Amino acid sequence: MPNSVEIKDFEGVREAWKCPHLSARMGDSGEELGPSYELFLRGTVIQLDGAEHVKRRRTYGQLIRGGGHKEFRDTWLFPVVDSSVRELHANPDEDGFARVEVYRWIRRVQMQLAAALVGFDEAREPEGAEELADLMTILMAGRPTQYEMTVVGHDEESAALKATVGARDEILERFFRPNLERRLELVRRLEAGEISEEDLPKDLTMLIARRADPAWEDPALAEREVLLLLAGSVHTTSSAVMWTLREIFAWLEEHPDEESRLEDDDFILGAAREALRLHPVAPASPRLAVEDVELKSGAEIPDGAIALIRSGFASTEPSIYGEDAMEFNPDREVPPGIYEFGFAFGTGSHMCYGLPIVMGTNGLDGSLGYMLKAMLGAGARPDPEAPMPPVGPTRGDYDDATNHPPPFHVIFDVGSQQAAAAGR
């Protein structure tokens, strides 16, 4: 494994993410990154630099540019979230309460949204999404992260990795290849003049079928790319919803008179930004030094070494976010030019592609805000029978235990809401 240098301070993190001599392309380190790199990462958008990267990002951009984001919101986000909440309300337990384990429930809803974006038609509905989410959970459990592949090391022979590869094969067989075939047929019909551009779905598999980036002529790369988008979107957003709810409920324990703020969009947005800032979704973003690099903060990353960009520390730096930087403060104001959500989405050219989808463009029209509003509006409250552990110790850093906390159960008081609505 190459040497690694941790970058944790705010300025260092910002500079490292933008430094042209710190490459995203791990596979060129000259080190053997193992079969997992070939199966999951090589050549995907997150592994490209320079012009190649700009081109791939532009191609991806076709899905959300112009009216694309609005189309995604109106066709998928709003209807899928609304119907999921309606379904919960339609099926309360005998005592009038509906109950869910937050992460598991959100994961299914997010999977439906991700499936629409990736082009896995069968998983746009709840049943298919649940099956795909189960397979993705197996895939993610044994798939080494970039950080493990490059720095910590991993066991290519582990049972978990074998299960991961099995889940990957099944996902591709059931959800990708039939959809690619369908879209290749659409391309043939388009070329024959039987249908027009407007008849084509707006999803990644359609872009692949059209070879919107010629690199996708390579079927193995196309497979890696769809899996990357799926893996990058569902767990991250589901974690963010889960952490925001946990933080809000912990905050309400300290501020019992402020419950009415749950109906305030600005409060929900502020809460989401704070939760994102406090709870990074990945341990570190690795970058390979392609020449000797010295950051302004003094950190030195020799040619061939790996810079580990640890956003969680930078996002809780008191000199930037205030003395209470480790606290959850939904009313926090940050200095101009500073992201309110910290480095949750990274920065620089690789900054999260899904950012406009997650955060929206106007108030709570992103997948995170809309989902939170829908759940809180439907009366979500922590289940008193399953109290949640304190959130404070989990802030500012990522480790497996804190990022995958014990299940978090929420109840919806459907009975009271229905009685209130009937009495109106």
Nearer to ligand HEM, 195 or 352 (CB): 352
Nearer to ligand HEM, 164 or 285 (CB): 285
Q: Is 357 in the site for ligand HEM (CB under 6 A)?
A: yes
C-beta closer to ligand HEM: residue 45 or 391:
45
User: In the set 88, 117, 139, 306, which binds ligand HEM (CB under 6 A)?
Assistant: 117
Contact call for residue 77 and ligand HEM (CB under 6 A) = no
- Closer residue to ligand HEM in complex, CB, 313/353: 353
Q: Determine if 111 is a binding residue for ligand HEM (CB under 6 A).
A: no
Asked if 388 and 382 touch (Cβ cutoff 8 Å), the reply is yes
Nearest to 399 by CA among 314, 238, 279: 279
How many Å is the Cα radius of gyration of the chain?
Answer: 22
- Least distance (Å) from ligand HEM to the CB of residue 233? 3
Closer residue to ligand HEM, CB minimum distance, 290 or 352 = 352
Interaction of residue 288 with ligand HEM, rule CB under 6 A: no
Q: Binding pattern to ligand HEM, positions 335-354, x when CB under 6 A?
A: ---------xxx---x-xxx
In angstroms, the CA 197 to CA 202 distance is 10
In the region spanning residues 152 to 211, those forming contacts with ligand HEM, defined by CB under 6 A, are none
- Site membership for ligand HEM, residue 221 (CB under 6 A): no
296, with CB counted inside 10 A (0-12, 13-18, 19+), is exposed
Q: Tokens standing for 415?
A: 């009975």
Q: Which of 236, 244, 316, 403 binds ligand HEM (CB under 6 A)?
A: 236
Are residues 10 and 17 in contact, defined by beta-carbon separation less than 8 angstroms? Answer: no
Residues touching ligand HEM, count (CB under 6 A) = 22
Q: To the nearest whole angstrom, how small is the minimum distance from the Cβ of residue 190 to ligand HEM? A: 25
Can you tell me which of 285, 315, 316, 403 binds ligand HEM, judged by CB under 6 A?
285
Nearest distance from C-beta of residue 34 to ligand HEM, angstroms:
19
Q: How far is CA 157 from CA 34, 144, 149, 197, 260, in A?
A: 11, 12, 14, 46, 53
For ligand HEM, the closer of residues 225 and 383 by Cβ is 225
Q: Distance (Å, rounded) from C-alpha 380 to C-alpha 416?
A: 12
The residue (of 46 and 289) whose beta carbon lies closer to ligand HEM is: 46
What SS3 state is found at 293? strand
If one asks whether residue 7 binds ligand HEM (CB under 6 A), the answer comes out as no
CA-nearest of 183, 192, 230, 189 to 210 is 183
Question: Taking a C-beta distance cutoff of 8 angstroms, is the pair 303, 289 a contact?
Answer: yes
Binding mask 36-65 for ligand HEM (x = CB under 6 A): ---------xx----------x--------
Q: Measured from the CB atom, is 117 or 167 closer to ligand HEM?
A: 117
Which backbone phi and psi does 409 adopt, to 5 degrees?
A: -100, 135
Whichever of 163 and 231 has its CB closer to ligand HEM, that residue is 231
Q: Is 371 in the site for ligand HEM (CB under 6 A)?
A: no
Contacts of 181 (CB under 8 A, 6+ apart): none
DSSP for 343-409?
Answer: TTT--GGGS-TTHHHHH-SSTT-SHHHHHHHHHHHTTEEE-TTSPPPPSGGGTT---HHHHSPSP-E
Tell me: does residue 358 bind ligand HEM (CB under 6 A). yes
Helical (H) or strand (E) element with 306: strand 306-309
- Give, in degrees to the nearest 5, the angle at Cα 334 between 284 and 396: 30
Min dist CB 348 to ligand HEM, Å, is 7
> Could you list the residues that contact ligand HEM (CB under 6 A)?
45-46, 57, 117, 229, 232-233, 236-237, 240, 276, 281, 285, 344-346, 350, 352-354, 357-358
